[in-house]
Amino acid sequence: MKFPIYLDHHATTPLDPRVLEAMMPVLKHEFANPASHHPFGIKAAKLAEKAREEIAALIHAEDAQEIVFTSGATESNNLAIKGVAEIYQEKGRHMITTAIEHKAVLEPCRALERAGYRVTYLPVTSGGLIQLGDLERAITDKTILISVMAANNEIGSIQDLAAIGKIAKAKGILFHADAAQAAGKIHLDVQAMEIDLLSFSAHKMYGPKGVGALYIRKKNPRVRVSPQMHGGGHENGLRSGTLNVAGLVGFGAACDIARKEMKQEASRVLALRERLRKGLWEGLDDIYLNGSLENRLPHNLNVSFAYVEGESLLMSVNEEIAVSSGSACASATPEPSYVMKAIGVPQELIHTAIRFGLGRFNTEEEIDYTVKRFVDTVKNLRTTSPIYVLKGGI
């Protein structure tokens, strides 16, 4: 076993060696700008277009031309939300999203609010799901976009995209989903789920950093967004800038692997996740699962270890096991997680939360070590917790 053990796959994933292998010849030899019309450029453009097809296939887009290359899900979300806001503002200036979105959705929404738009932030259940009745009640004749994440980056909750898509379609409202955590992990189908715009990112699915995509529906309806990056008119004018061809080839390879292996991998990783969960619950009392076990990403586990400060726990295991704490996703700002607040986790338990994000290369051995290390460490830290000792825990 190699240390440290990486269990932080919601933050980013390692590059799959097969993806690196696909990228290497491109990095070495295919330096050309795909916008150039000489043989070098034409060859590079062919590589980018093959990647576009592999990326489109993962989410079952009808046409590869519905994929716009970006630098990642942050940029895709910005292009989708601000791009739709600008184009459709004649119809109305109201959008609907959820309280548990990633900052890459919440902040563009805040920017729109500053510009005079109205945004409704839907609450979620303790399981981290929106309620369809709330969504329907929030819709007005001024609503132009519903933006709901496919799966949450902290508690792994998976929204019912098909049901949301159906409501959006019936009301003639565009539906965007941030699928940074879901793409390549669970089945996504933009046609069956009636999704109009979908954001995702290569580095969350064993591809390279700095490349991502925005799916923009071309038919029924033909969706329009205004560019947020102006320049040479690349990507049909929607996203100017010279393409990262090697990165895109890697993204394409990552999508291809995910499409073929997703089912198998999900069940293998789910078995590991359940091994971790059962091990922790057998070894410890006073621990709580954040979010529900149903509708949850197979590789996500989020646990509050009562009477133990999450940061202390994190620091104690840090040399050997890489995980995130309850204030994880905005680690730069050590505030308690707004996602946990939104699902109703009490303040004192938010501070004791640890997010485990399992992945493709984790082994049973690593999970068994993690269980033992956490059980021992939590027991040990609790001996110094006056409240735990007082309540007769030890």
Ligand X SMILES: *Cc1c(COP(=O)(O)O)cnc(C)c1O
Residues 288, 103: Cα–Cα separation, whole Å: 25
CB of 212 or CB of 336, closer to ligand X: 212
Shortest reach from residue 181's CB to ligand X, in Å: 5
The two structure tokens encoding residue 352: 């004791």
A 10 A CB-CB count for 333 gives: 8
Any residues with CB less than 8 A from the CB of 175 and at least 6 apart, and which?
145, 146, 147, 148, 164, 165, 168, 169, 194, 195, 196, 197
CB of 128 or CB of 212, closer to ligand X: 212
Position 198 contacts ligand X (CB under 6 A): no
Q: Are 10 and 324 in contact (CB under 8 A)?
A: yes
Shortest reach from residue 156's CB to ligand X, in Å: 11
Residues 193, 175: Cα–Cα separation, whole Å: 10
CB of 74 or CB of 97, closer to ligand X: 74
Position 55 contacts ligand X (CB under 6 A): no
Residues 129, 390: Cα–Cα separation, whole Å: 37
Position 102 contacts ligand X (CB under 6 A): yes
What angle do the packed helices 103-114 and 73-87 form, to 10 degrees? Answer: 30
Shortest reach from residue 313's CB to ligand X, in Å: 23
Position 299 contacts ligand X (CB under 6 A): no
Per the annotation, the verdict on 329 as an active-site residue is yes
CB of 211 or CB of 284, closer to ligand X: 211
Shortest reach from residue 94's CB to ligand X, in Å: 22
Number of chain positions touching ligand X (CB under 6 A): 14
DSSP 192: T
Residues 149, 102: Cα–Cα separation, whole Å: 8
Query: Which residue stretch of 189-197, 199-207, 242-250, 294-302 sits at the interface with ligand X (rule: CB under 6 A)?
Result: 199-207
CB of 199 or CB of 377, closer to ligand X: 199
Q: Which residue is nearest to ligand X (CB)?
A: 72
* Window 207-236: contact mask with ligand X (x via CB under 6 A): -----x------------------------
The two structure tokens encoding residue 110: 């805040």
Position 153 contacts ligand X (CB under 6 A): yes
Is 316 in a helix, a strand, or coil?
helix
* Distance in Å from the first CA to the final CA of the chain: 33
Shortest reach from residue 280's CB to ligand X, in Å: 24
Residues 109, 104: Cα–Cα separation, whole Å: 9
CB of 181 or CB of 377, closer to ligand X: 181
Shortest reach from residue 139's CB to ligand X, in Å: 23
Determine which residue in the list 149, 186, 190, 254 makes contact with ligand X, applying CB under 6 A.
149
Shortest reach from residue 385's CB to ligand X, in Å: 32
Q: Are 12 and 209 in contact (CB under 8 A)?
A: yes
* One-letter identity of residue 285: D
From 56, 148, 188, 329, the catalytic residue: 329
Binders of ligand X in range 329-388 (CB under 6 A): none
- HEC letters along 326-387: CCHHHCCCCCCCHHHHHCCCCHHHHCCEEEEECCCCCCHHHHHHHHHHHHHHHHHHHCCCHH
What is the rounded (10 degree) CA torsion for 6, 7, 10, 11? -40
Binders of ligand X in range 69-98 (CB under 6 A): 72-74
Shortest reach from residue 124's CB to ligand X, in Å: 14
Is 250 in a helix, a strand, or coil?
helix
Determine which residue in the list 9, 93, 204, 351 makes contact with ligand X, applying CB under 6 A.
204
CB of 112 or CB of 205, closer to ligand X: 205
Determine which residue in the list 104, 119, 345, 349 makes contact with ligand X, applying CB under 6 A.
104
CB of 67 or CB of 378, closer to ligand X: 67
Binders of ligand X in range 168-187 (CB under 6 A): 178, 180-181
Interface residues toward ligand X, by CB under 6 A: 72-74, 102, 104, 149, 153, 178, 180-181, 201, 203-204, 212
Just list the catalytic residues: 329
